Copies of this chain bind each other. A is one copy, B any other.
Amino acid sequence: MKFKPLHDRVVVEPLEQEEKSSGGIIIPDTAKEKPMQGKVIAVGSGSRGDDGKVVALDVKKNDKVLYGKWSGTEVKIDGKTLLIMRESDIMGILQ
């Protein structure tokens, strides 16, 4: 990986959404804001509080995450389409 996100930013690789699966997560078409699945590729060193202390992020490399459909900025790194977003755009971690 050749990109280090700043502060509380995270690089996410979007995953193919399986429309139908028995035990996985399905996002209904009728959902108000359709969340997306992705894999975390790189994380920033942490957000900085008012006093300058760095707070490490909760998501880690390789975490499978859910995020809002319109989150982040699209870039292409090494041929892959990736998203740079803030950790607060991530709703949770799939385990």
With A and B bound together, what is the CA distance between A44 and B45 in angstroms?
A: 20
Q: Using Cβ atoms and an 8 Å threshold, which residues of chain B touch A53?
A: 51-52
- For window 11-37 of chain A, which residues contact chain B by CB distance below 8 Å? 11, 22-28, 30-33, 35
Number of copies: 7
Within the complex, the shortest CB–CB distance from A22 to chain B, in Å, comes to: 7
A2 nearest in chain B by CB position: B95
For this complex, 9 residue pairs linking A to B, each with C-beta atoms less than 8 Å apart, are A3-B25, A4-B93, A5-B92, A6-B59, A31-B73, A33-B73, A44-B92, A51-B51, A84-B91
Beyond A3-B92, A35-B73, 4 extra complex contacts between A and B, CB < 8 Å: A6-B58, A22-B79, A27-B76, A31-B75
